[in-house]
Amino acid sequence: MRILICGDVIGRNGRDTINKYIPDLKKRLSIDFILLNVDNAAGGFGITSEIANSFFKLGADVLTGGNHIFDQSGVAAFLESEKRMLRPHNMPTNVPGRGVSETITDSGKKVIVIHLLGQRNMPLIGNDPFECSNNLLSKYKLGENADAIVVDFHAEITSEKNALGHFLDGRVSVVFGTHTHIPTSDDRILEHGTAFQTDVGMCGDFDSVIGMKKEIVVEKFSKIQTKVKFTGATGEATLCGLLVDTDDKTGLANSVKPIRLGGLLTQTII
């Protein structure tokens, strides 16, 4: 199975680059399953039902959020009704929505997506992601009742992301990090067969500070007491993603490759 993962989509230009590249990638690379992290898709803060539905029409199978998932009004009701739109699983049980999805692809393969939130230096606090994922994996087994298991770990600290990758190694198809918006160069297959990247990066303008207008953020850091309103950068975005091929029998990774298209970053050849 071939899985395409795209990092945090930032604002309108992030959405534009998704619209530009996803249809071609899906067709040309014979993608079986597409996951987008959309925690910043609405002006840099959260997601709306209208934007989410536009991604589904484009071919996305599942959308994940993060600490900004509830920023936009009306999204709670959408999370309750739309099973393909996930908030982090390791949140209190009374929080609207769900953090796990089950999808049957056109070829009849069953893909499980697990969305988790980190505990270190995050403004939105969740329960222990290690315990939560461990409990879920008593239900889902690669090669038995799941053809692929994909884990989006929305976390700030690289060590926490690395630790979860090793914790889940051999039990899921891929663990990838989101939230920090900077693509790391450590894409690899771990010892027991799980594909991993600490952070897949963002689908946003890199002439910025993690997708926000650089002048505003520089002012915030250089003038500590200044109150500023962050605004999304508006230049051409780079699509940052990860392409994972899994074994049809085991569900573990056969190959993993980063994707960078458009904008300022060095482009990948695919």
Q: Which residues are catalytic?
A: 68
Q: What CA–CA distance (Å, rounded) separates 204 from 160? A: 24
Q: What are the tokens at 178?
A: 């989101």
Q: What CA–CA distance (Å, rounded) separates 68 from 244? A: 26
Q: What CA–CA distance (Å, rounded) separates 117 from 129? A: 7
Angle at 125 between CA 40 and CA 91, to 5 degrees: 90
Bridge partner residues of 35 (DSSP)? 5, 62
Q: What CA–CA distance (Å, rounded) separates 249 from 247? A: 6
* Other CB atoms within 10 Å distance of the CB of residue 45: 15
